[in-house]
Structure 1
Amino acid sequence: MTSLPQVLAFGGVVMLGAMSPGPDFAVVVRRSAVSGRNLGMATAVGIAAGVFAWAAAAATGLAALVAASAMAFTIVKMVGAAYLLYLGVRALIGAVRGGGAEPDAPEAGRGSPWAAFREGLLCNVLNPKAALFFVALMPQFLSDGAPLGDTLMLSAVALVITTAWFLTVANLVGALRRILARPAARRTIDALSGAALIALGVRLAAVSRP
């Protein structure tokens, strides 16, 4: 049975991982700035769902198979890199068009909660670095033959912490949306987030298995 100190330590490591700059952070910030607090929160929930999936997969050994298989790792890596490049190029197009305008969404709605959720989910699930993170982390807190309850509990802890962090980010950025709604600010956000996502996609494509 996993003890309370172990759960707290696990939660602390997950929090540090969630707070580190990366594609998840960039996607939530841009979605919250461009589409508002609600869609930013939907993106945050999508990312948290991806974290839960990777945590559960690591605890059951599925993530380890992805990390160990050269073909599986490469497929996930390249698809994830392509998705980040797609998001980055889309953001840059928005910047060129005046800031905030999504190439594939009406100006009024700028997407739906489901589209925002899917964006966050795919951003996390298609990142093999998340698999490596949990493959390295979960065995430190789960012994061989650990009961299903412990696996679900730690996966739920990862879900709750990630959700809380990215919801906080979405709400903070959403609260500043009146300032960020200015065309110049929108163009800057789109340009910076687009460049960051493209750089992260290129870096992800260059990642090799440990």
Structure 2
Amino acid sequence: MTSLTQIAAFGGVVLLGAMSPGPDFAVVVRRSAVSGRGYGMAAALGISVGVFAWVLAAATGVAALMAASAAAFTVVKVVGAAYLLYLGVKALRSALRRSGEPGPDPVPDPGRRSSWAAFAEGLLTNVLNPKAALFFVALVPQFLGGGASLADTLVLSLIALAGTVMWFLVVATIVGTLRKLFARPAVRRTVDGLTGVALIGLGAKLATTSRP
């Protein structure tokens, strides 16, 4: 059975991974700033469900098979990179569209139509990132032995989900609290522009990632 020490250590490593700058962070920040705290939280939940799925996949060997298969790794990498590029271009187009708006109230962001759209955006950003597979393939076996039970696997998966949710909900709350600041057209354009460039850069970097 997984000990409390192992659970704490695993949770700490996953939390540090979630806190590192990357596509997940960029998506939550932009969604919170552009659409509001609730939509940022929805994106955070989507990312957390993706992390939960990756831990299960790593524990059952599915993630290891994907990481070991050149074809599977390439497919996930290309699709994930394309999705990040799509999000980045959409953000840049939003920034350019708002650049000609003289009024104080910008055009509502298309992603604000549904919190499910924000959830899906977070989920897809995470599950289409093969680096997440490599991370959990390296991490999970250190905490789950060969004879680990289903209960142990579920405990670690839930710990990973809880830690990720906690961090990104904090991010969404902080950014969402500054909603009035981000509602200013100039600030909104800056957020869209910076996150757009960041997502495009991350997508390009992901596209050139190779298996270890």
TM-score, normalization: structure 2? 0.95
**Aligned residues between the structures:** 206
Give 1:111 deviation, angstroms: 2.3
Q: How far apart, in 1, do the equivalents of 2:90 and 2:112 lie?
A: 13
Deviations 1:80-121 (A, max 9, x none): 000000000000000001166577x2xxx8220110000000
**Which residue in the other structure is 1:181 paired with?**
183
Structure 2: give runs of 5+ residues left out of the alignment: 100-105
Equivalent residue letter for 1:45 = L
**Which residue in the other structure is 2:205 paired with?**
203
Aligned pairs for 1:55-74 (under 5 A) are: 55-74=55-74
Contact 1:94 1:101 survives alignment (8 Å): no
**Which residue in the other structure is 1:169 paired with?**
171
**Which residue in the other structure is 1:4 paired with?**
4
Equivalent residue letter for 1:61 = G
The verdict on how the C-alpha distance between 1:80 and 1:150 changes in structure 2, with shifts beyond 3 A counting, is: same
Q: How far apart, in 2, do the equivalents of 1:112 and 1:164 lie?
A: 22
Give 1:145 deviation, angstroms: 1.9
Q: How far apart, in 2, do the equivalents of 1:102 and 1:132 lie?
A: 37
Aligned pairs for 1:13-52 (under 5 A) are: 13-52=13-52
Equivalent residue letter for 1:173 = V
Contact 2:42 2:118 survives alignment (8 Å): yes
Equivalent residue letter for 1:12 = G
Equivalent residue letter for 2:188 = R
Contact 1:52 1:158 survives alignment (8 Å): yes
Aligned pairs for 1:17-166 (under 5 A) are: 17-98=17-98, 101=107, 105=110, 110-166=112-168
What is the Cα-based RMSD across aligned positions, in Å? Answer: 1.2
Q: How far apart, in 2, do the equivalents of 1:36 and 1:165 lie?
A: 17
Equivalent residue letter for 1:25 = F
Q: How far apart, in 1, do the equivalents of 2:94 and 2:50 lie?
A: 26
Contact 2:39 2:112 survives alignment (8 Å): no
Give 1:182 deviation, angstroms: 0.1
Equivalent residue letter for 1:199 = G
Structure 1: give runs of 5+ residues left out of the alignment: none
Contact 1:43 1:117 survives alignment (8 Å): yes
Contact 2:77 2:130 survives alignment (8 Å): yes
Q: Does 91-100 or 45-54 show the bigger shift?
A: 91-100
Contact 2:55 2:157 survives alignment (8 Å): yes
Contact 2:58 2:140 survives alignment (8 Å): yes
Equivalent residue letter for 2:114 = S
Instruction: Tell me the SS of whatever aligns to 1:110.
Output: helix
Give 1:166 deviation, angstroms: 0.4
Instruction: Tell me the SS of whatever aligns to 2:95.
Output: helix
Equivalent residue letter for 1:200 = L
